[in-house]
Amino acid sequence: MNVMGEEFETDFWKEVSDRATWDMIVPGDLRETRPVTLTKQIIQDFARKVGEDNPLYFDEAYAKSTAYGGIVAPPSIHLLLMFACTTSRDWMRSPGTINAGQNWFYNVPIRPGDTIEMRGTALDKFIKKDRLFAVHENLFTNQHGQVVCTGRGQTIRPV
């Protein structure tokens, strides 16, 4: 079972015709997003499934003894947020989307109970050889309006 539970649609072929193709992606347009609350359960399920076993993510007494002051999420939690905060019509779900590399900056750590909002756009699109590329930019903030992390990546779009 995925870490968000049964409501998350895992069949990426559903709604495939509702998703933007490369031609329809407009750089600057906001992607449709929704806020997601990350419980301790979600954070720790995520951590276990990606093989994170640092006590900082699991052991409250240890985490309290560090500068973090309590359990936090692994920085890579944005992997989950990119899909959790978007809808099943989002073009990042299109089958055949190939990730070509990513850059992420981490600001404030995510803590259990945080509600995260995503602002996502395409920043650019281009053709290289015979491949169609889109550059995307994501900004994640917490319920205090603090930036938790920002990322930019490139995907090769399915033809």
Partner 1 sequence: MSAQAEFDKIAVGEVINGRSFTVTTETIQDFGDASLDYNPLHFDPDWMQKNDFGGTQFGTVIMHGMQNFSLITRTLTDWLVPRGGYHRRLETRWIKPVKLGDTIMPEATISRKNLTDGGNWAQFDVVVKNQDGEPVATGQALAEFRDTIPG
What's phi and psi for 76, nearest 5 deg? -70, 5
Question: One symbol per residue from 56 to 95: x for binding partner 1 (CB under 8 A), - otherwise; what is it?
Answer: x---------xxxx----xxx--xx-xxx--------x-x
User: What's the rounded Cα separation, in Å, for the pair 20 and 13?
Assistant: 14
In the bound complex, what is the minimum distance in angstroms from residue 28's beta carbon to partner 1?
A: 23
Q: Of these, 58, 106, 119, 137, which contacts partner 1 (CB under 8 A)? A: 106
Nearest to 155 by CA among 119, 120, 125, 118: 125
The DSSP bridge pattern shows strands 147-156 and 115-128 to be unpaired
Question: Footprint of partner 1 on this chain (CB under 8 A)?
Answer: 1-4, 8, 10-13, 45-46, 49-52, 54, 56, 66-69, 74-76, 79-80, 82-84, 93, 95-109, 130-131, 146, 156, 158-159
